Each structure stands twice: as structure tokens, then as C-alpha cells.
Amino acid sequence: AQKVTQAQTEISVVEKEDVTLDCVYETRDTTYYLFWYKQPPSGELVFLIRRNSFDEQNEISGRYSWNFQKSTSSFNFTITASQVVDSAVYFCALSERTGGFKTIFGAGTRLFVKA
Amino acid sequence: DAGVIQSPRHEVTEMGQEVTLRCKPISGHDYLFWYRQTMMRGLELLIYFNNNVPIDDSGMPEDRFSAKMPNASFSTLKIQPSEPRDSAVYFCASSLGAGTGILNEQFFGPGTRLTVL
């Protein structure tokens, strides 16, 4: 069965600090997709990144970077030089091909960035 | 594009009443998802459709919940009768399948905040 664990419930940092949000997943499928979404205080969910199981290349987008490691079933998200606007809840999600792409979300990590 | 549209944005009703939530996906998207978000249970997938056909409704909590997608541009989630524990934010999301076995990201609507008194 698919499962996503975000062990960090809340993280609080001071502006300009780097912060890493952890995501560990469980799947028996060889073809799957991993996602990160951001939910700011306004409530909407915003897509950040998608990774498929065959692409382990790390990705950088501005201050955001993602580290995908199949060996440890992890897909961690790092924000460099955090800003107050990064304060939000961040969700990691998994979709398995054999599950018909049913998407399972982790519990989310609430990030507070203080000025 | 206007994005995923949900209505109403807020709904307050009394226990026992029927509630209907509406969703218009992004034009051209062939997947539609309904989620419920609560503090206790987080973000749960209730049901999803592919090309208007329900694919997986295993997340629908009870028979009181039903969802339909009569055409590619409209879906409803109905709760009848509603109960206080149904109070939550309900999100609709749509996605474009990029081909067999490929899933793209989901685009979420703003959500409907349901309060059942």
C-alpha cells in the first residue's frame, strides 16, 4: 500500500536560514510520481514539483531544491535563504501507476519563517 | 484560463440538510479529483474521475456522500443528509493526463468551506 510520511509537523526558522522538509514514501510499484504542493495561509494548494520514479536527478528552481533518493525512499525539499513569504504548509504526495494514479498526501509540514 | 472553479466558497447548513458542492475543471483536463481537508485527517482523496468516469471512490466515507460528473466541464459532490462531522474544506482538482501511464500535476480549486451545525 502507498504511504507518505512527513515526520516534521512544524518547523520554525528565522528569515535567511536554510530549511529542509523531509518526505519518506512507501510503494511497491516501480512506476510512480512524487509531488510537492504548497498551501499558504490563503488556503489554496499550489503545485511546486513533480518527479517520476525513473528520474532521480535532483532539481533546483530558484531558492527551492529537491533531493530524490530511491535508495532511501525519500524526496526532500530544501528552501535556501528562507523568506517570510515561504510560510505555509507543504505537502508531499505520491501517485502509483498500479493504483490508477490515486494520489495520497502526507500530513504536511507547517513552516513558519520569522522576520 | 480561469483555473478550477468551485462553488459555493462557503456553505453553512444545519444537520440533516442536503449539501451540493460544485466544480468546473480546467478545460481539456481529463482527470478530476475531490478531496476533503480537516485538521484531524489532513487531505484525503474522496473520489476521482477519468474522462467523466469514476475510477476510485474508495475514499468516500459513507453512502451519504455521492459524486457525479455528467460532462467534462462539471462535477458535483453531494452530502445527504449532512452531519456536523462533515464540516471541512472540500477541494476539487483537475489534471491533464499526458499519455498512457503518465500523470501530470493537479490544479486545485480554492475550496469550499463547509460548516454543518
> Is the pLDDT score of A26 beyond 70?
yes
Using a 10 angstrom Cβ sphere, with 0-12 exposed, 13-18 middle and 19 or more buried, the burial of residue B72 is middle
Give the pLDDT confidence of A33-48 residue by residue, as tens digits: 999 999 999 999 999 9
In this prediction, residue A96 has a pLDDT band, given cuts at 50, 70 and 90, of: confident
Which residues from chain B sit within 8 angstroms of residue A105, using beta carbons? Answer: 35, 42-45
Q: Is the pLDDT of residue A100 over 80?
A: no
Residue of B55, B91, B49 lying closest to B71 (CA atoms): B49
DSSP SS3 for B104: strand
Interface test with A, best of B95, B105, B107 (most A CBs within 10 A): B105
Q: Is the dihedral of CA A82, A46, A5, B42 positive or negative?
A: positive
pLDDT 10s digits, B9-54: 999 999 999 999 999 999 999 999 999 999 999 999 999 999 999 9
Dump pLDDT digits (tens) for A8-21.
999 999 999 999 99
A91 closest CB neighbour out of B43, B103, B109: B43
Taking residues A47-56, report their average pLDDT. 90
